[in-house]
Every structure is written in C-alpha cells, then in structure tokens.
Amino acid sequence: MGELVVLRIGHRPGRDDRMTTHVGLTARALGADRFVLASNDGRPLTTIDDVTERFGGPFTTDLVENAGAFLNEWAGMIVHLTMYGLPIQDQLPRLRERCPPGCDLAIVVGAEKVPFSVYELADWNLAVTNQPHSEVASLAIMLDRYSDGTALDEDFIDATHRVVPQAAGKRVERTQE
C-alpha cells in the first residue's frame, strides 16, 4: 500500500501557525498518512501530534528544512494544489488512472508565494477553483474527491477520545483509561 503525504511549504512562523495546523489536521482527518512541514518552526506539529494521540491514527508528522529536496527525493506522484492549476474536476480521472488511491502520492499545499520549481516538479498542478481561497478548503476537497468520499468513513485506532455525533451541543468521550 502506498503513502499519501501532505507537504506544507512556505509556512511563516507567527503568521501561519493556525492555518498550517489546520492543513495538518485536515490531512489527518481526511485520509493522509503523513504531514510534512517544510520549515524551521515545528510548533504546529505539536498540536497535530497531540490531536493524533487523543483521537487516533495512524498518522505521523515530520519537519524538513527544504521542500525542494523532499520533492526531488519523492519517488511517487506529486500534486500541487494551486488556484493557477488545471480544474480538479477535469483532471481527477487522469490522476486516478496514473495514481489510483493506494499509490505513493504527495500533495503540496503552499502558504506564501510558491517557488516556480514546485510547479515544475509537480506531475499535476490542480485547482479546486481558479479564485483566491483557502488552502485548507483546497486540501479537503482534493482528499475527499481523490478518495471518492471514503476518507469520511476512516476508522482511527488507539484513540483515547472520540467525538459523539449530536444534533446540537458538543460531546467528547474518553475511550481508554
């Protein structure tokens, strides 16, 4: 079975902490195996790891200094999510042909201006919409469509907490002592 990795590049410490954390949490919740942050600031990983510990996995996080080096060493397919890319709804059938769920896939999500080399290294530059929008929304839509909605049924193991679905209010239960 392949690995589905989300790579966050361009993280600006202090400015993007919350957004980067949300990218990682979205990756975890919607079927990625690993979140890689290209930065010298690993603080967002602490929150993501804490959520994984409480709400289950498997899911891992890594900190790398250089996104280009990571992408150059990656042996699988690379999708770069960008509003300048080709429409996901048109390209997804071809992506699934070349890299069906279960193959090694890295999904790149940017923050600040993405270096042109990422556009060149990517096998696919895909847009959820060609309008300015959130990278968290793009990632969520990409993961959901790529998995054909099955990521929503993901079972997480070794959770100590679980959310109890309710029509109103909030409820979290401990699952283990």
- For the chain, state the CA radius of gyration: 16
Please tell me the predicted confidence (pLDDT) of residue 66: 94
Question: What are 65's two structure tokens?
Answer: 């200094």
The tens digit of pLDDT for each residue in 70-91 reads 999 999 999 999 999 999 999 9
Rounded CA separation 111/132 (Å): 12
Ranges of each domain in the chain: 4-174
The tens digit of pLDDT for each residue in 49-63 reads 999 999 999 999 999
Q: Quick one: CATH architecture of 4-174?
A: 3-Layer(aba) Sandwich (3.40)
Residues of the chain with pLDDT under 50: none
The answer for residues whose C-beta is within 8 angstroms of residue 114's C-beta and 6 or more apart is 9, 10, 80, 82, 108
Please tell me the predicted confidence (pLDDT) of residue 154: 81
Please tell me the predicted confidence (pLDDT) of residue 111: 86
Rounded CA separation 29/56 (Å): 10
Buried b (16+ CB within 10 A) or exposed e, 77-114: bbbbbbeebeebeebbeebeeebeeeebbbbbbbbeeb
Please tell me the predicted confidence (pLDDT) of residue 11: 83
Please tell me the predicted confidence (pLDDT) of residue 76: 97
Cis amide prior to 58 (ω within 30 degrees): yes
Tell which residue, 123, 140, 114, 106, has the closest CA to residue 22: 140
Please tell me the predicted confidence (pLDDT) of residue 95: 95
